[in-house]
Amino acid sequence: MELVTPGIGLIFWTTLIFLIVLLILKTFAWKPILNAVKTREDSIKGALNAAEKAKSDMLKLQAGNEKILQEAKVEKEAIIREARDIRETIINEAKERTKEETLKMIEAAKVKIENQKLAAIEQIKEQITVLSFDIAEKILREKLSSEKEQKEYINRMIDDLRLN
């Protein structure tokens, strides 16, 4: 039965320890805890007051925002119009520059083609001259293969020179 009913000594020491712990808590813990709760309560009240003030400020700002929004819309439309005008100007200038550059490139290409054509003609003339000399040389070698034919040819040439 001792387990069910505690002894007087146990009750005394338990009560004494409880009172000591209660005194220690009151001295060291409850004051800081109560101060922290009080500080928290004050900060919550301050936050609520600030929220009320912010709400009234927001209502005032909302009216101002409507006006600013209308002004911003007007300004936006003006900027868009100006941007469109600038875009059109830039596009037109780019088209003109492109057209001018294209004409310059075409003219340069024509000059280059003409120069290449003239160079090709000169080269063909040179080749024709070289080929003509080669053909003439081959023909003369064939016709003047003997010494007698060479002498006859030389005499004819001298006669032609005398007549001229």
- Say what the pLDDT of residue 137 is: 79
CA angle 119, 121, 123 (to 5 degrees): 70
Cα distances (angstroms) measured from residue 9 to each of 22, 126, 129: 20, 140, 144
> How far is 72 from 41, CA to CA, in rounded Å?
43
**Residue ranges per structural domain of the chain:** 8-163
pLDDT computed for residue 2 by the predictor? 59
Residue 164 confidence class, pLDDT cut points 50, 70, 90: low
pLDDT score of 154 more than 90: no
What CA–CA distance (Å, rounded) separates 31 from 19?
17
Contact 105, 113 (CB under 8 A): no
Q: Is the whole model's pTM more than 0.85, yes or no?
A: no
